[in-house]
Chains A and B, each alone.
Chain A
Amino acid sequence: MILRRPPRIAQALLRSLGGRYAESLEGDLLEEFAAGRTRLWFWYQVTCALYEQAWRTVRRQAMTFAAAFTFFLLALWAIAPVTYPVMRWARTLESDFLVLVAWLAGVPFVLGSVAGTTQRRRFTGAILLAGTCAYLTPLTQPFTLAACDLCTRSQPSTAPGAVLLLTPFASALLIGLGAWVAARITGQSSGSADEIA
């Protein structure tokens, strides 16, 4: 006898990022799965749920993301002199791998604090997000190298301006995406039990 089990990863994704009615939706999917629906159908439904939730969040937080990116660009020019020492320190490291590790190690902490703030105070959150982006920019050297290698096959110093601009954009995008994921996870507990009769 072959036991049919619903895809656990899909369930975990739904629980973490599925929004206000994630629990009810998961129950509905399990009910339909028990009635004979396939694993592929289950994954399709979860993918739709994640897409719906992502699109909904982007629409709601559009001003936050726009403000964050604007402040990011402004802060980048304003804070650049302050970040030079960090840049120099990053360049003294032996390998790009260590720079990447340093970059990744700071990200979860920063994202957690930023996401907590953006939940309630969007404007303050945007400023914090921009400052964080500006601070992290020197540590995005691996992105620059990868972008230069991919796009121009040249060194960063000789790369066109567009490629160098790609780096802050990529970091802003990644941090924005990370902030969204963190916000979804931290905001998961609110809005379900207390609003349902």
Chain B
Amino acid sequence: MRRRDYLGHLELMVLLAAWRLKPEAYGVSIAREIEQQCGYSLALAGIYSTLERLQEKGLVRPIRGEPTPERGGRARTYFELTPAGVREARSTFGALTRLAPKAALS
């Protein structure tokens, strides 16, 4: 039987943030969104590490942007959810919502 790869807390947050920011989801914007909405200040390396894991699971897809001078000629890498990523985000978020007691949702 194949072991199911469950999403971790951080993975779910990054996945939802990337979905919410589409099509402008890249390292800085995802970190900023999580900080604004959840109050967690995350290192950019942590965001990229999580995105790399999500990519390996087939839940996000990287898209290379154009290099810009303010970034020292480095291109942005945008991330968008794959159909499997959308399904996984819905499934995990739905499971958490169903599991939560009413007090936690109010």
A interface residues with partner B (beta carbon < 8 Å): 18-21, 23-32, 34, 44-45, 48-49, 51-53, 56, 195-197
B8: Cβ under 8 A from any A Cβ: no
On whether the beta carbons of A196 and B63 are closer than 8 Å, the reply is yes
Across the interface, A197 reaches (CB within 8 A) one of B45, B51, B64, namely B64
How many chain B residues have a CB neighbour from A under 8 Å? 24
Would you give the shortest CB distance from B30 to chain A, in whole angstroms? 10
On whether the beta carbons of B45 and A31 are closer than 8 Å, the reply is no
B49: Cβ under 8 A from any A Cβ: yes
CA distance A49 to B44 in the complex (A): 8
A-B contact pairs, 6 of them (CB 8 A): A20-B52, A24-B74, A28-B44, A30-B74, A31-B28, A48-B46
On whether the beta carbons of B70 and A24 are closer than 8 Å, the reply is no
On whether the beta carbons of B45 and A49 are closer than 8 Å, the reply is yes
On whether the beta carbons of A31 and B49 are closer than 8 Å, the reply is no
B85: Cβ under 8 A from any A Cβ: no
B72: Cβ under 8 A from any A Cβ: yes
Would you give the shortest CB distance from B103 to chain A, in whole angstroms? 36
B84: Cβ under 8 A from any A Cβ: no
Contacts of A53 in B (CB 8 A): 45, 49
Also in contact, A28 and B62, with CB within 8 A (given A21-B48, A21-B51, A45-B45): no
CA distance A52 to B74 in the complex (A): 21
Across the interface, A28 reaches (CB within 8 A) one of B26, B46, B52, B64, namely B26
